[in-house]
């Protein structure tokens, strides 16, 4: 006991005294002596408890312990090191309908800028793992866009807000962890204090609000605080078209088109096939593709004229494409209106459009009531008004075009400019920002960031901490739509009840729940929804039944917005004002990261953008002639200067980019918002990240702006592009190759397939005769799987790529690895140009493993890791693969993907250089924070698909897991697999139904019929690979009256 | 007419058995005969080996992604270097086996170190296919071993043939080399004064006493092994060429590949023998054993095989044009004659076709500087040839959308430099601890030359039967 009274410090002090002045041998002896002292023993025991015993242990015991610990290490080593430490909680009572290993589907909806797309959420053992379009939903019809497919990854985003954060010290980078209760305790009194003044000084900012429940809550808030102000801001929203409808119909609304009835479509920079441009794009793409479907030897097709200031999907699909600068669009719209016979201010057109205008109008006029003129969502209101007037003059309104009351409740709210002005004048005490990131997305001229600081209390509800959060006092975690109850409207007004699939992963609340808290009553979303829909008399007298049906179907019946009539047929239209600038910058939402909100989504970041094929960056697209004039090449940094600011971006010379127009995608250059969103900050662009286009966007004209200067900075920043971005080329098919078959409908109707062969077709007979092993043809016995891809239907949106990625657990590899040519997408969307570089024709060719009957990959594998199934699948046995990569070399389609590094388990490639020699290595933030021992991203994996490790080859399997599921079901039912039982992920999500899968041994199956279609051909048939995936030739339907415009028409034989 | 030096005999000067024993044996027995230069080269080699070890550790730790390989170019430096190293080894086997069977006495003084080069080169080569796989720990699946899965390797794959070809080649070469060393080990055992050296050489000599019976058995075995090795010279590189010729990749699927690869291998091998032989004979004063006549003949073989290789290049181009296959033709115009990789192709033509033409001039065939420079060109050229064939063909695809360039990474170069260092290290150790020149065969040659009375100054020796 006495010993222990000496503290460690004292003991050490004493020892130092002992050792003082001792040298050499004596020194060591003193150490020995010291070791014998009680003080030392005490210190020793203190520091390493029980260590002394180790010295005293005899040899026999030591061996005994060693043996035991080895044995234990064997056991313990498995858990926690090689195997995950897992806690099993068996169901005491299994939930109804839950069969382990079997997925369940629930109807719900996801939103983009407020507009809903109905989905069916695939849930496996309680985890939502994949989204598929809801066939009953008008905005989906079963399809989903890339963004829709990737929404489930947002749900598992490891960077999501997990708790309430309070920023006590505004200068600190990190706030304090807090709770909703704390927030309520702190903020509610402050809000209540405003009741007396009617809510003066309170401000709410939302994105586009289509949720009826949310709108009603906002109304309640306004009632409680009449002087409070409500604002709405959507960086890529539909304010313009709503204004335009208000101009012709007296109240805000949106046009809804029916492309299935349209024979002639004129697009005024209207990318109606692109889901980021138009919320109805999925439905429109399906209707449009139906109008282009040609079966057999003869057919009819609709005709699309695209007048574009950018490079859109509509332009790539168009039969005639005309280019102009963004500022010339209105003039072109007026010229078209005048040519149709309307009295409007004089517009001007130039070039080939001028020559062809008469023919276009003639075409429109001969299809009265069966045509559509569609303007781009971002275009100015007057362009839309002009388009509406033309549609009216052509008798389309009521037939192919109708106007419906705006699904957006937020149309009447204040704008972001109003909020900025109010903030500036100090009118805002408390600002509540709901799911909006104005500090990043606000146009440069508003200087919103500076003004936001003037609000006394700033609260933001957000999914991931972003640029705005950095300035807020309270940051609230927003629940994802897959884990909370809400509702939302589609582009035609149809409402959907959004139901959760899983209990909230974190302490999040969604927009309506959080708003309810601001109202002071803090009700659950489920309650709020039911209360609202009860007031709407859902289900008539039987609410419960109506509610259940609505939730089950994913559509609330009879909620489509009411049609409104065009009342003002002669609205005053301004005269076009020329911009007088050599170059104009056009701002469009990015096809993947949209306005920046999906910048932390790896699937979307790595989605090759349809036309540029660039991933992980946005670019400054220049037309080839402009690039020549400016002496700029792709990959060179340029400085784009406008009246409000300047940005440094990477140039990309894009064939087909209109001369004088520079398209810049919004959404890049994030400084906060998650690991992937900000990946460019610390790596100098090597990992992507792009640049912020909002810095040169103005609130007055968000669509485009004049450029004062484009300066070559003489530095390079390599882009990661998946096609044609190297000195080797790859954007065009060299002569004599029979890879693409495309031609005009007229020629096809006359001459059949012969007219569509662009290259040298190998003689079929010769191919057959040159076969040295005719007996080795693949025997068709039982079900034989095959796929048909109609290049005529494909719009190039890329949804199939993301769907495949979601279904098959495909890894994201990061910009650096994509740049090296190691992207892992099983399905790729080749984009080929033909014709002039200035305005080329584009053909899309989706291609994944074509499952050759005589696959070149199979005989070269030394370990038989890739083999053929009796049903014709070329199978990849991951477990057997050694990774010689010979199969990839010998694959003529180059559809095999190799795991060069461990993509699955670590996410280092996003933040770290692979080479240790690179000095710019930064310690990557932990990509996968562990929430209760579970790594978030692992929950996302499809349990039916093997997760591939490092060093194995992988490729398209024809979704073999879906085939097997259908086989099990058919066996249970005692029948054969019926046509349509198996729908591959890519086929399922395709808006234009370009992909058909099925049994080619069954002559009545859809795919068999397509294989016999005259447009069907086998890619690289001359190699005798006998691909199971066949492609169908692309057709265009140019106006026979238009012969002069050689730069748009097909026929480059 | 010709330079008189070419008329050097295979052994020059007034040599006796003792002088030959001494001039070769002293390199092993008298450690002072090595200069500081040897040490410097060894240190260089050891450092290179270190680089190799680090590269391999990093490769195994991280995966093949540390290299520049991608899709479409799934093979890059790994297979380029594999084929290059395997080719280097071929001269050794040709000299020791085929020239032996053809009774070419001039092989006697160069066969030993070229055989050593064969073995070391195959060791360097073997590293690549073993470790270029994504999961090298499963490489044993390539061997047909009995297992409970009932899985055999896929015998149709040329990679599997490679496994057999290269492993056979290595083991036969090693045995052949060792058997050839036994009489020399005995000589060294008898001559060495250091008791440890004596002990080691005694063990290695395996009781060799030089009896008639020993010699009889020896000759039988040696010729038997030569008989086995001789076809290997042709088969190994033919099979390596099948890795490419069997495939359907444009630029690979060429029927001329097997003979063209074999000729290329001998070509590269002789260049390497010259590169090492010339400094060796100079620094260790072995000019009387590796004479100008040797150099002359090796240069002639280099020229001859070089012409075969040039014919191969011509055929390749001709075939790509004549086949009228658009894919092959595109390859020719886009990656060979023109395009971003054309500089490598033309460099290859200069190195392998133009440079060896110097050897038409007799003087140049014995000019050591000319020999070293040309053989360096050939070594570089043969490397470029494999580079042109492997990744460059892969970057050009049937579907143009897949055309993507290949850029080697730092680790690609590090590993190649590492194998060069490893090779250098092994050669340095070999020079110091094993007889670099076949002592007894040279003595045998000397006996035959003297005994035949055709040892006339200034004349070529007559072939001895």
In degrees and rounded to multiples of 5, residue A42 shows phi and psi of -65, -45
CB-CB under 8 Å, A723 with B156:
no
A641, β-bridge pairs: A646, A709
What would the mean pLDDT of B26-48 be, rounded to a whole number? 90
Phi, psi for A620 (deg, rounded to 5):
-100, 105
Q: Do the Cβ atoms of B72 and A831 come within 8 Å?
A: no
| Inter-CA distances, A381 with A243, A388, A410, Å | 6, 10, 18
pLDDT of residue A89: 56
Token duo for residue A803: 């769907």
Q: How far, in Å, CA of A471 to CA of A453, rounded?
A: 7
What is the pTM assigned to this prediction? 0.88
Residue A297 and residue A1010: Cα distance in Å, rounded?
A: 12
Q: Do β-strands A661-666 and A646-653 pair in parallel, antiparallel, or remain unpaired?
A: unpaired
Q: Do A885 and B66 touch (CB under 8 A)?
A: no
Backbone angles phi, psi at A97, to 5 degrees: 70, 0
Tokens of A894: 């180059």
Res B152 pLDDT > 70: yes
Task: Say how far apart CA B395 and CA A1041 lie, in whole Å.
Answer: 43
Rounded-to-5 percentages of helix, strand, coil across chain A: 30, 20, 50
List the Cα angle A414/A418/A422 in 5-degree steps: 120
Q: Do B339 and A727 touch (CB under 8 A)?
A: yes
| A204 burial level (CB within 10 Å; 0-12, 13-18, 19+) | buried
Yes or no, beta carbons of A917 and B410 under 8 Å apart: yes
Cα–Cα distance between A191 and A519 in angstroms, integer?
9
**Mutation site for B-interface testing, chosen from A608, A770, A820 by largest number of B Cβ within 10 Å:** A820
- Which parts of chain A have pLDDT scores under 70? 1-95, 682-685, 761-762, 774-777, 905-935, 1044-1053
User: Can you tell me the distance from the alpha carbon of B173 to that of B120, in angstroms, rounded to the nearest whole number?
Assistant: 10
Q: B340 and A727 in contact by Cβ < 8 A?
A: yes
Q: Which two tokens stand for residue A271?
A: 């990318």
CB–CB contact B71 A894 (8 Å)? yes
pLDDT for the residue numbered A920: 34
User: How high is the pLDDT of residue B102?
Assistant: 87
Helices vs strands, H then E, count in chain B: 16, 0
Q: Look at B399 and A893 and tell me if their CB atoms are within 8 Å.
A: yes
Beta strands in A67-186 (DSSP E): 104-112, 115-124, 127-133, 164-166, 176-178
Spatial contact of A827 and A847, defined as CB atoms under 8 Å apart = yes
Rounded to 5°, the CA angle A655-A657-A662 comes to 135
Burial (CB < 10 A; 0-12, 13-18, 19+), residue A30, is: middle
Backbone angles phi, psi at A788, to 5 degrees: -125, 130
Here the tokens at position A767 are 């191919």
The closest CB to that of B404, out of A726, A845, A859, belongs to: A726
Would you call B400 and A734 a contact, using CB atoms and an 8 Å cutoff? yes
Higher-scoring residue by pLDDT: A937, B102 = B102
Distance, in Å, from the CA atom of B345 to the CA atom of B351, rounded to the nearest integer, reads 10
Q: Which of A734, A897, A914 sits opposite B65 (nearest CB)?
A: A914
Instruction: Report chain B residues whose CB lies below 8 A from the CB of A762.
Output: none
Measured between CB atoms, which of A820, A893, A899 is closest to B134? Answer: A899
**pLDDT of amino acid A43:** 55
User: Where do we find the tokens 């890739």?
Assistant: A866
Please state whether beta strands A704-716 and A583-589 pair in parallel, antiparallel, or not at all (unpaired): antiparallel
The alpha-carbon gap from B337 to the nearest alpha carbon of chain A, in Å, equals: 14
Report pLDDT for B120.
96
Residue with tokens 């010379």: A653
- Specify the pLDDT at position B445: 86
DSSP output for A191-212? HHTTTTTTTTTEEEEES----H
Helix B368-394 × helix B257-283 angle, to 10°: 150
Interface test with B, best of A738, A817, A864, A889 (most B CBs within 10 A): A889
CB-nearest partner of B70 from A820, A861, A899: A820
Residue of A722, A728, A901, A956 to mutate, testing the B interface (most B Cβ within 10 Å of its Cβ): A728
More confident site: B167 or A909: B167
Residue A108: predicted pLDDT: 94
Contact A894 B405 (CB under 8 A): no
Q: What is the pLDDT of residue A933?
A: 37
SS3 content of chain B, % helix, strand, coil (to 5): 75, 0, 25
Radius of gyration of chain B from its Cα atoms, rounded to whole angstroms: 23
The answer, for A947 touching chain B at a CB cutoff of 8 Å, is: no
Q: What's the burial of B250, exposed, middle or buried (CB within 10 Å: 0-12/13-18/19+)? A: buried
Q: B157: which chain A residues are within 8 Å (Cβ-Cβ)?
A: 859-862, 886
Phi, psi torsion values for B407, nearest 5 degrees: -125, 120
Q: Are A380 and A611 in contact (CB under 8 A)?
A: no
Complex-level ipTM:
0.92
Question: pLDDT per residue over A822-840, tens digit each?
Answer: 999 999 999 999 988 899 9
B424, B48 contact by CB (below 8 A)? yes
> How far apart are the CA of A883 and the nearest CA of chain B, in angstroms?
4
Spatial distance between the Cα atoms of A451 and A937, rounded to a whole number of angstroms: 38
Q: Considering only CB atoms, which chain A residues are within 8 Å of B143?
A: none
Distance from CA of B152 to the nearest CA of A (A): 7
The token duo for A917 is 């020699």
Q: Which helix (H) or strand (E) holds B297?
A: helix B292-322
Q: What 8-state DSSP symbol labels residue A539?
A: T
- What's the pLDDT at A979? 93
- With a CB cutoff of 8 Å and minimum separation 6, the contacts of A586 are A309, A310, A326, A661, A662, A663, A664, A703, A704
For the residues B239-255, what does the mean pLDDT come to?
92
CA distance A376 to chain B (A): 30
* Residue B401 Cα, gap to closest chain A Cα (Å): 5
| Residue A408: closest CA among A345, A495, A522, A285 | A495
* Cβ within 8 Å, pair A886-B74: yes
According to the model, what pLDDT value does residue A925 have? 37
- B177-223 pLDDT, tens digit each: 999 999 999 999 998 888 899 999 999 999 999 899 999 999 999 99
Residues 825-854 of A with CB under 8 A from B: 828, 830-832, 845, 847
Tokens of B133: 């796989």
> What's the CA angle centered on A268, arms A266 and A271, to 5 degrees?
90
Residues 6+ apart with CB under 8 A from B20: B11, B289, B439, B442, B443, B446
What are the φ and ψ backbone dihedral angles of A41, each rounded to 5 degrees?
A: -60, -40
**Which DSSP state fits A574?**
P
Cβ neighbors of A344 (< 8 A, separation 6 or more) are A334, A337, A338, A386, A389, A573
């Amino acid at each position: 006991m006495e010993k222990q009274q000496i503290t460690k410090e004292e003991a050490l002090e004493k020892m130092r005294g002992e050792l003082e002045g001792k040298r050499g041998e004596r020194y060591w002896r003193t150490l020995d002596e010291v070791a014998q002292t009680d003080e030392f023993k005490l210190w020793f025991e203190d520091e390493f408890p029980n260590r002394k015993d180790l010295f005293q242990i005899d040899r026999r015991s030591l061996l005994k312990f060693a043996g035991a610990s080895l044995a234990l290490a064997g056991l313990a080593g498995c858990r926690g090191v090689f195997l995950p430490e897992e806690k099993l909680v068996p169901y005491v009572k299994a939930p109804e309908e839950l069969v382990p290993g079997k997925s369940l589907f629930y109807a719900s909806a996801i939103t983009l800028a407020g507009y809903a797309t109905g989905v069916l959420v695939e849930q496996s053992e309680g985890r939502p793992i994949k989204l598929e379009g809801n066939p009953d939903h008008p905005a989906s019809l079963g399809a989903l866009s890339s963004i829709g497919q990737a929404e489930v990854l947002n749900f598992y985003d490891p960077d999501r807000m997990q708790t309430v954060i309070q920023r006590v010290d505004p200068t600190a980078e990190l706030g304090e962890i807090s709770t909703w209760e704390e927030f309520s305790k702190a903020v509610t009194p402050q809000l209540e204090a405003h009741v007396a003044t009617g809510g003066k000084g309170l401000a709410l900012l939302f994105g586009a609000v289509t949720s009826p429940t949310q709108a009603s809550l906002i109304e309640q808030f306004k009632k409680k605080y009449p002087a409070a102000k409500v604002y709405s801001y959507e960086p890529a929203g539909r304010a313009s078209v709503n204004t335009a409808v208000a101009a012709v119909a007296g109240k805000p609304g949106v046009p809804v088109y029916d492309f299935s009835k349209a024979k002639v479509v004129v697009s005024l920079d209207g990318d109606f096939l692109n889901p980021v441009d138009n919320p109805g794009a999925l439905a429109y793409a399906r209707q449009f593709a139906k109008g282009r479907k040609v079966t057999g030897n003869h057919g009819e097709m609709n005709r699309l004229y695209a007048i574009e200031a950018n490079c859109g999907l509509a332009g790539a699909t168009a039969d005639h494409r005309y280019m102009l600068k963004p500022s010339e669009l209105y003039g072109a719209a007026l010229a078209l209106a005048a040519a149709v016979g309307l009295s409007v201010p004089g517009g001007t057109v130039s070039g080939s459009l001028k020559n062809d205008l008469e023919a276009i109008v003639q075409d429109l006029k001969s299809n009265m009531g069966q045509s559509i003129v569609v303007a781009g969502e971002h275009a100015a209101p007057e362009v839309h008004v002009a388009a509406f007037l033309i549609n009216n003059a052509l008798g389309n309104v009521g037939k192919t075009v109708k106007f419906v009351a705006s699904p957006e409740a937020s149309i009447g709210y204040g704008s972001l400019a109003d909020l900025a002005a109010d903030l500036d004048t100090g009118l805002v005490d408390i600002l509540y920002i709901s799911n909006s990131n104005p500090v990043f997305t606000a146009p440069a001229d508003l200087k919103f960031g500076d003004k936001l600081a003037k609000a006394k209390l700033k609260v933001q509800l957000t999914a991931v901490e972003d640029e705005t959060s950095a300035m807020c006092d309270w940051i609230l975690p927003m629940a994802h739509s897959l884990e909370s109850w809400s509702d939302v409207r589609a582009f035609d007004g149809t409402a959907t009840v959004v139901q959760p699939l899983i209990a909230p992963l974190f302490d999040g609340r969604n927009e309506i729940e959080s708003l309810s808290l601001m109202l002071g009553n803090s009700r659950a979303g489920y309650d709020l929804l039911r209360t609202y829909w009860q007031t709407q008399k859902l289900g008539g007298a039987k609410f419960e039944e109506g509610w259940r049906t609505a939730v089950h179907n994913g559509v609330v019946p009879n909620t489509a917005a009411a049609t409104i009539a065009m009342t003002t047929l002669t609205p005053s239209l301004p005269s076009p004002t020329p911009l007088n600038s050599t170059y104009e910058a056009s701002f469009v939402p990015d096809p993947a990261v949209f306005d920046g909100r999906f910048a932390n989504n790896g699937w979307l970041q790595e989605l090759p953008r349809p036309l540029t094929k660039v991933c992980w960056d946005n670019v400054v697209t220049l037309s080839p002639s402009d690039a020549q004039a400016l002496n700029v090449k792709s990959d060179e940094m340029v400085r784009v200067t406008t009246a409000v600011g300047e940005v440094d971006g990477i140039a990309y010379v894009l064939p087909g980019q209109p001369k004088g127009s520079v398209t810049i995608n919004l959404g890049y250059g994030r400084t906060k918002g998650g690991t992937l969103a900000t990946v460019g900050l610390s790596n100098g662009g090597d990992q992507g990240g792009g640049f912020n286009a909002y810095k040169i966007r103005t609130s007055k004209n968000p669509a485009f702006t004049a450029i004062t200067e484009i300066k070559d900075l003489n530095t390079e920043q390599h882009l990661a592009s998946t096609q044609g971005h190297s000195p080797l080329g790859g954007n065009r098919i060299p002569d004599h190759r029979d890879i693409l078959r495309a031609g005009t409908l007229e020629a096809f109707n006359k001459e059949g397939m012969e007219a569509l062969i662009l290259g040298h077709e190998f003689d079929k007979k010769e191919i057959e005769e040159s076969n040295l092993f005719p007996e080795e043809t693949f025997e068709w016995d039982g079900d034989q799987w095959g796929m048909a891809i109609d290049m005529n239907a494909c719009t190039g949106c890329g949804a199939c790529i993301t769907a495949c990625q979601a279904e098959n657990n495909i890894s994201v590899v990061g910009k650096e690895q994509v740049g090296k040519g190691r992207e892992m997408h099983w399905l790729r969307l080749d984009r080929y140009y033909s014709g002039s570089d200035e305005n080329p024709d584009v053909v899309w060719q989706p291609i994944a493993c074509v499952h050759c009957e005589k696959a070149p990959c199979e005989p070269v594998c030394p370990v038989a890791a890739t083999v053929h199934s009796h049903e014709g699948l070329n199978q990849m046995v991951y477990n057997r693969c050694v990774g010689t990569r010979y199969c990839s070399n010998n694959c003529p389609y180059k559809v095999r993907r190799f795991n060069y590094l461990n993509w699955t388990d670590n996410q280092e490639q996003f933040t770290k250089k692979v080479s240790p020699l690179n000095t710019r290595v930064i310690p990557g933030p932990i990509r996968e924070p562990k929430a209760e021992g579970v790594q978030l991203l692992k929950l996302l994996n499809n349990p039916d698909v093997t997760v591939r490790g490092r060093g194995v080859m992988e490729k398209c399997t024809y979704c073999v897991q879906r085939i097997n599921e259908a086989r099990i079901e058919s066996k249970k039912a005692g029948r054969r697999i019926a046509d349509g039982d198996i729908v591959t992920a890519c086929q399922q999500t395709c808006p234009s139904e370009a992909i058909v899968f099925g049994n080619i041994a069954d002559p009545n199956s859809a795919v068999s019929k397509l294989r016999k279609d005259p447009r069907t051909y086998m890619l690289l048939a001359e190699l005798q690979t006998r691909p199971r995936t066949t492609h169908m030739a692309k057709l265009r339907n140019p106006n026979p009256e238009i012969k002069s415009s050689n730069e748009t028409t097909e026929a480059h034989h | 007419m010709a330079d008189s030096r070419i008329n050097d005999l295979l052994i020059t000067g007034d040599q006796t058995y003792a002088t030959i024993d001494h001039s070769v044996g002293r390199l092993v027995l008298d450690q002072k005969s090595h200069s500081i230069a040897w040490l410097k080269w060894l240190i260089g080699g050891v450092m290179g080996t270190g680089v190799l070890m680090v590269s391999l550790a990093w490769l195994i730790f991280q995966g093949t992604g540390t290299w520049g390989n991608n899709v479409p170019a799934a093979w890059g430096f790994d297979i380029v270097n594999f084929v290059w190293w395997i080719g280097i080894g071929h001269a050794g086997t040709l000299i020791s086996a085929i020239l032996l069977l053809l009774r070419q006495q001039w092989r006697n003084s160069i066969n030993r170190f070229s055989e050593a080069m064969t073995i070391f080169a195959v060791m360097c080569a073997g590293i690549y296919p073993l470790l270029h796989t994504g999961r090298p720990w499963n490489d044993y699946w390539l061997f047909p071993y009995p297992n409970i899965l009932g899985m055999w390797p896929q015998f149709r794959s040329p990679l599997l043939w490679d496994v057999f070809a290269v492993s056979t080649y290595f083991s036969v070469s090693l045995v052949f080399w060792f058997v050839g060393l036994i009489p020399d080990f005995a000589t060294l055992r008898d001559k060495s004064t250091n008791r440890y050296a004596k002990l080691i050489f005694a063990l290695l000599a395996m009781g060799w006493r030089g009896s008639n019976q020993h010699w009889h058995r020896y000759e039988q075995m040696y010729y038997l092994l030569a008989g086995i090795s001789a076809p290997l010279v042709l088969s190994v590189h033919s099979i390596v060429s099948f890795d490419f010729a069997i495939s359907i990749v444009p630029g690979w699927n060429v029927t001329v590949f097997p003979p063209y690869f074999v000729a290329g291998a001998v070509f590269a091998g002789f260049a390497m023998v010259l590169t090492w032989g010339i400094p060796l004979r100079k620094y260790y004063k072995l000019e009387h054993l590796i004479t100008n006549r040797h150099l002359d003949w090796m240069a002639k073989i280099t020229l001859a095989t070089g012409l075969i290789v040039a014919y191969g290049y011509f055929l390749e181009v001709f075939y790509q044009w004549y086949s009228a296959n658009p894919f092959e033709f595109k390859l020719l115009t886009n990656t060979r004659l023109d395009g971003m990789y054309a500089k490598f192709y033309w460099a290859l033509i200069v190195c392998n076709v133009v440079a060896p033409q110097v050897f038409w001039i007799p003087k140049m065939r014995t000019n050591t500087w000319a020999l070293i420079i040309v053989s360096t060109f050939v070594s570089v050229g043969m490397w470029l040839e494999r580079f042109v064939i492997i990744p460059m063909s892969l970057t050009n695809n049937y579907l143009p959308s897949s055309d993507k360039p290949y850029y080697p990474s730092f680790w690609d170069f590090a590993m190649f430099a590492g194998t060069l260092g490893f090779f250098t290290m092994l050669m340095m150790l070999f020079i110091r601890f094993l007889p670099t020149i076949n002592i007894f065969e040279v003595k045998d040659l000397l006996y035959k030359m003297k005994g035949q009375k055709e040892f006339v100054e200034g004349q070529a020796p007559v072939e001895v039967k």
